Each structure stands twice: as C-alpha cells, then as structure tokens.
C-alpha cells in the first residue's frame, strides 16, 4: 500500500546505516546493501503518507496523536534523505527523483507544523519542530539543479518556501530566545539560529536571477513581514547581524552574507525613506570588533567581512542623508579611518564614497555643530563650577559680615534669593543691606516680577552662563564713549547672542561698571521669557551670588578688562 509508515521507518533505518560510514568512500561495498534497500523502498512511494489533509485541530493536540508523530518523523526522514542524495559522493547512485507533488505535500505540512503559526506548549518540541522545518527548506534550496529549484519555488509552490523563510527570519527569537535555550557560539541551538537567519537570504539569491518576474512577489512578502513599515526591515537586519556577531564561529560566512543581504533589501526598493539606527549600529559594531575578528577568522574571511561591512555602510549612508548623520554619531568615521589605514590593500572605492558622504555632512553641519559642541563644553564647565561654588556658599548666612552669625543650618528667605542662619540676621540684613529692595516679597522691593519657583542652586548655574558671556563680550557691551552699557542676551539658541543699546543710568562706581542686561530664556515649559538683569560690583554684593531664580539674574560683578587693541 503506498504511503505506509512502516516503509518510512525502514527508510530511516537504511539512512542511519549509510550515515555510519560517513565520510563516504567511492564504491565502498558496505554502502551497497542499504542503498539497494532505499531504492526499493522509494519505489513504494512512502512519502505519499503526506497526501493526507492537514487537521483542523490545534498543533499541540495533533502532536500528541499517532498521526502527528508519524508526519513529524516523515518530514525528518525526508530532509535526511534529500541531504544524503545531493552529496557529491552519491551523485552516481541516482537515489531519488522526487516529483512536484511530493514537494507540495512536504511544504503544506511544514507550514502547518511551524511553531511560529501555532502555539506549542513544550519549548523543546518548539525547537525540534523548528529545526525540522528549516531542514526541509534547506532540502529544497540545496538541489543541484537551480532551474528546477526556481520552477518549484515560483510555479509549483507559489512562493510558499519564501514566505515561510521570511517568517522564520523575522520571528526566530520567539522560539529560540525564550530563556530555555543556550545561545553560546558552539551550542546546537546557535546552529539553528544561524540557519534561521541565513535561510531567507539563500532563497532570495535563487529568486533574484529573474528580477522582473520575482521582485514584486518578494517585495510584497517582505513588506508583510515588516507589517507595512519598510524601516522595520532594516531593524530586523540589524538585530540579526547583532546576533551573528555574538554567535560568530570564526568562519565569517553568515556575517558577510547577511550584510550583503541588507544592501539587496535597499535595491529591492521597498520604499523606506530613512534607515533604522539598529541596522547602522550593527554594521558599526562589526567595524568596532575588527581586532577580535582579525584574530578569530582566516585572512580571506576577514577580508570579506570588512568588504561587506564597508559596502553595507556605504549603501545605507547613500540611501538617505540622515543615515550618514546617524553613522557619524555612532562613531563610524574614526573606525573607517582606522581600518583603511590598517588594511591599505582593500578596495578604496567604498572608503572614498563614505569619505565623500561624511565630508558633505560635516561641511553642511560644521558651523552649527561646532557652536553646539563649544557651548555644551562651556556650559558643562560652568555647571561644575556652580556645583563647587554652591558647596562653598550654600551653607553661609548672607549677613556673615556682621560677625553675629551662628553655626548651623541656614534657611531661605521666602523668595529663595537669600539664606539666613537666624531671624536676627534676616532682620539686620533687611535693615542694613539691600535685599529688601530686591526681594519681591518686600514692600520696598524694586523687583518688577516675582521670582521663578527655582532653587538657588539651579539658579547659580544660569547666572554663571550669563556672567561668562558678558565678561567675554564686555568690550562691545560696555563702551561709555559710544553710550553703550546695556544689552539683550538671547540664551534660547545653541549659542548665546546679544544686542547692545544705550546705558539708561550712569555707573555708581568708577572701577566697576553698571551693565544692564535683558536676558531672553526658556522656562521649564519651553516658553520664552525675558527678565531684567543688572550686573555690577561692590563690597556688599557677595550674597547676591545666591539671588538666582532661573535667569532671574542678580547683580553680579563684571570687571572691565583693559584691552590695548581697542585703543
């Protein structure tokens, strides 16, 4: 009877007997009995057992039935027999001429059994089934006749293997990355992960021989996997390459083939406007790991990995301007420079292309980037200064010059612009000092606006920014001969700017100028605000260092520095 499971079992036993003698020797007499058994069994068409319809029951339930076990074993033996038949030593034996109907049934059952489509409760069963499905896919694409494979993929199976491989390429972490697997480079599971990642690229290469005919279908399947978001394709590529970096076994083959596959996805014109940073980060990580790869791989394999990485980076950066910007931010430029200097014999074309793209980005962004970097560095140093200054003055009473201060904690005035150790010092300072004119809670206050609800420590940092800027530009801001002594400082851009205008009042002290500053800033809600700032000096102005609500700046000492070049 065609399709007997007993024939399947006998076929498996014969295959096991042959595999004992691997590697095979030509005309080995020990192989002849099991080979004759295989040929006899194949004449009975044992794989017709898979003509049965796939059940409607859940996969978990089907695997617990006798029929489910038989189908699963049949798929395993099918892939093992195909692997045996295509080996070079077996070419002259002509073991098996499988027909199209067999392939249709095999992939119909492979699709049903794939654990990505139906839940399987046991993790070990998931991994076992997934490995079998991948071996079935490999059985198809390792056929010696590429024309026949193409015909099966496109005409007979209507792209079903490509669809199955695409789902595995995207969804393998749901099977292998569940905590029950060991993903060390030499583990059995690592081999399955490598195969899961590589299988789609191998089928893609076979179908790419006739681009006009196959590209629309492949593009459609890849967009389905990406859920209609082309950017997600490159995110998946980046994730898979990152995995292969961690599981690199020293050959480098899968690593460079996946990088070339990433560039082919761009050529497929899936419509992405920009490139995922995950893909860029993966190729930059390969460049960053080049010393380790150089020790691990052969010279030829490492050269292919370098070439593929630079080619992938050039393709990604050339696809969209933002990719070049992101690559620079990830550190690609110095890595490319190091590798180019280390391996001068490499093909210079992609290096020159990358250099040109990076130069274009740097040229178009150089001025604002430098301003941002310089301003950030300046403000960071001022922040460090503000922290140190607050540790010094944040515990000192503002009436310390009276000599009547007590040791202990200080309390802030309701305006948070002055600190006092006692009510006695507060009263004395309000009577003899000038805080009563500055405090918005005082009846004698000259303040126009109430202070921002910001801590004095926060305020100190922003005071230093304005003071540093005014000190740097004091020659252009304070010029009595030209009637200048006031300015409006815009602190909302990447670098502060100012506009000068006439001083409204004469300076009270000859040696220290009165500089009136109107500061434009953004508050915590990003709204622009303006406030009046007066910077001048005097012996009793130390406490004003604490008068620092965010950009509600106090009077600060700004000394005039004589510049001979201004004469």
CB–CB of 265/313 below 8 Å?
A: no
Three-point CA angle 538, 544, 546, nearest 5°: 155
Which of 101 and 565 is assigned the larger pLDDT? 101
Q: Is the pLDDT of residue 455 over 70?
A: no
CB–CB of 492/528 below 8 Å?
A: yes
Q: From its phi and psi, is residue 27 left (phi > 0), alpha (psi between -120 and 50) or beta? A: left
In the chain, what percentage of residues exceed pLDDT 70?
66
Task: Please report whether residue 523 resides in a domain.
Answer: yes
pLDDT at 213: 84
Question: Count of alpha carbons within 13 Å of 304, Cβ hemisphere only?
Answer: 15
* 392 pLDDT tier (thresholds 50, 70, 90): low
Task: Please report whether residue 418 resides in a domain.
Answer: no
- State mean pLDDT over 84-92: 70
Question: In the listed set 345, 367, 389, which residue is the last one of a domain according to the structure?
Answer: 367
Rounded-to-integer distance, Cα 128 and Cα 317, Å:
40
pLDDT at 422: 80
Rounded-to-integer distance, Cα 379 and Cα 229, Å:
40
* 457 pLDDT tier (thresholds 50, 70, 90): low
Q: State pLDDT tens for residues 44-71.
A: 888 888 888 899 888 888 988 999 999 9
pLDDT at 435: 66
pLDDT at 509: 46
Average pLDDT of the chain, as a whole number: 74
Task: Please report whether residue 409 resides in a domain.
Answer: no
Residue 363 and residue 240 in one domain: yes
Task: Please report whether residue 497 resides in a domain.
Answer: yes
**How many CB atoms are located within 10 Å of the residue 524 CB?**
9
Question: In the listed set 328, 343, 367, which residue is the last one of a domain according to the structure?
Answer: 367
Task: Please report whether residue 498 resides in a domain.
Answer: yes
Rounded-to-integer distance, Cα 552 and Cα 450, Å:
9
* 374 pLDDT tier (thresholds 50, 70, 90): low
CB–CB of 445/476 below 8 Å?
A: no
Which residues are within 8 A (CB) of 82 and not within 5 positions of it... i.e. 6 or more apart? 96, 98, 139, 142
Residue with tokens 């100190």: 460
Residue 249 and residue 347 in one domain: yes
Rounded-to-integer distance, Cα 398 and Cα 267, Å:
70
Rounded-to-integer distance, Cα 378 and Cα 372, Å:
10
Q: Is the pLDDT of residue 137 over 60?
A: yes
Question: In the listed set 336, 367, 398, which residue is the last one of a domain according to the structure?
Answer: 367
CB–CB of 42/93 below 8 Å?
A: no
Rounded-to-integer distance, Cα 35 and Cα 31, Å:
6
Which of 504 and 201 is assigned the larger pLDDT? 201
**How many CB atoms are located within 10 Å of the residue 409 CB?**
8
Task: Please report whether residue 232 resides in a domain.
Answer: yes
Pairing outcome for strands 497-502 and 528-535:
unpaired
Closest by CA to 530, choosing from 513, 553, 497, 514, is 553
Hey, what are 250's tokens?
Answer: 């020293």
The total number of structural domains that make up the chain:
2
Residue 237 and residue 361 in one domain: yes
* 74 pLDDT tier (thresholds 50, 70, 90): very high
Task: Please report whether residue 211 resides in a domain.
Answer: no
Least confident range of 155-164, 436-445, 470-479: 436-445
Residue with tokens 């965010």: 550
* 163 pLDDT tier (thresholds 50, 70, 90): very high
| Enclosing domain of residue 324 | 226-367
Pairing outcome for strands 484-490 and 497-502:
antiparallel
Task: Please report whether residue 177 resides in a domain.
Answer: no
Q: State pLDDT tens for residues 348-362.
A: 888 888 888 877 776
């Amino acid at each position: 009877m065609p399709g007997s499971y007993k024939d399947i079992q006998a076929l498996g036993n014969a295959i096991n007997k042959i595999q004992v003698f691997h590697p095979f020797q030509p005309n080995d007499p020990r192989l002849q009995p099991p080979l004759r058994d295989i040929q006899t069994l194949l004449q009975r068409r044992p794989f017709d057992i898979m003509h049965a319809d796939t059940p409607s029951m859940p996969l978990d339930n089907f695997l617990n039935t006798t029929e489910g076990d038989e189908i699963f074993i049949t798929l395993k033996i099918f892939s093992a027999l195909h692997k045996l038949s295509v080996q070079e030593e077996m070419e002259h034996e002509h073991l098996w001429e499988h027909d199209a109907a067999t392939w249709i049934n095999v992939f119909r059952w492979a699709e049903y059994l794939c654990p990505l489509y139906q839940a399987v409760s046991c993790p070990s069963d998931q991994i076992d089934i997934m490995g079998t499905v991948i071996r079935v896919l490999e059985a198809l694409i390792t056929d010696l006749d590429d024309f026949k494979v193409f015909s099966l993929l496109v005409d007979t199976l209507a792209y079903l293997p490509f669809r199955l491989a695409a789902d595995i390429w995207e969804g393998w972490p749901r099977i292998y990355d569940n905590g029950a697997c060991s993903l060390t480079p030499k583990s059995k599971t690592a081999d399955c992960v490598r195969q899961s990642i590589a299988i789609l690229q191998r089928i893609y290469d076979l179908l790419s021989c006739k681009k006009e005919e196959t590209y629309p279908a492949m593009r459609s399947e890849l967009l389905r996997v990406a859920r209609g978001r082309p950017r997600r394709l490159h995110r998946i590529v980046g994730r898979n390459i990152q995995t292969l970096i961690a599981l690199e076994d020293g050959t480098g083959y899968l690593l460079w083939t996946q990088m070339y596959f990433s560039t082919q996805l761009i050529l497929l014109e899936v419509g992405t406007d920009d490139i995922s940073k995950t893909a860029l980060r993966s190729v930059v990580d390969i460049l960053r790991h080049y010393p380790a790869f150089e020790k691990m791989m052969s010279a030829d394999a490492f050269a292919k990995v370098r070439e593929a990485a630079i080619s992938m980076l050039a393709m990604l950066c050339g696809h969209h301007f933002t990719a070049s910007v992101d690559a620079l931010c990830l550190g690609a430029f110095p890595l490319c420079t190091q590798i180019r200097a280390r391996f001068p014999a490499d093909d210079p074309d992609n290096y020159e292309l990358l250099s040109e793209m990076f130069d274009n980005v740097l040229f178009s962004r150089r001025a604002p980037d430098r301003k941002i970097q310089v301003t950030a560095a300046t403000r960071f140093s001022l922040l460090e200064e503000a922290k140190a200054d607050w540790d010094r003055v944040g515990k000192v009473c503002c009436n310390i010059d009276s000599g009547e201060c007590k040791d202990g904690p200080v309390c802030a005035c309701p305006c948070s612009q002055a600190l006092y150790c006692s009510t006695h010092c507060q009263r004395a300072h309000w009577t003899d000092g000038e805080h009563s004119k500055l405090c918005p809670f005082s009846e004698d206050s000259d303040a126009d606006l109430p202070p921002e609800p910001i801590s004095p420590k926060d305020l100190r940092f922003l005071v230093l920014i304005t003071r540093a800027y005014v000190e740097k530009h004091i020659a252009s801001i304070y010029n009595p001969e030209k009637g200048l002594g006031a300015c409006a400082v815009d602190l909302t851009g990447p670098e502060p700017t100012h506009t000068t205008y006439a001083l409204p009042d004469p300076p009270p002290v000859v040696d220290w100028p009165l500089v009136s500053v109107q500061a434009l800033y953004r508050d915590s809600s990003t709204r622009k605000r303006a406030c009046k700032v007066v910077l001048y000096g005097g012996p009793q102005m130390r406490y004003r260092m604490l008068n620092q609500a965010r950009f509600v700046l106090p009077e600060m000492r700004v000394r005039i520095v004589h510049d001979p070049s201004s004469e």
